[in-house]
Amino acid sequence: MKKGGSRIGGATGQYALRFLGKDSFILSRDVVARLIAEGIIDKQPTSKGAMKKVQEAFNIWMDQSGRSLTEISRVLAMSL
């Protein structure tokens, strides 16, 4: 991964982590749309600042609900 991992980007890396069993969220179109609807971000998160806002929102929801990042991601994706 260290040597060839730079070729993995975007959603590929997110899906690979989830497939490997790492608790993570996936920024699919539906999840991004829900984050926009919730006022967390205003468009597809591409900057470090926007990604920080997304991570903070997921951290808060994890603390409040006791759910994993994977579960929260799936709920957001299905809530549109």
- Each residue's pLDDT, cut to its tens digit, for the chain (80 residues) gives 556 656 666 678 788 888 898 999 999 999 999 999 999 999 999 999 999 999 999 999 999 999 999 999 999 999 97
Contact yes or no for 73/31 (Cβ under 8 A): yes
d(CA 52, CA 4): 25
Tokens matching residue 8: 């993995």
How many Cα atoms sit within 13 Å of 13 on the Cβ side? 9
Query: Which stretches of the chain are DSSP H helices?
Result: 11-19, 29-37, 48-65, 69-78
Q: Which residues contact 13 (CB under 8 A, 6 or more apart)?
A: 5
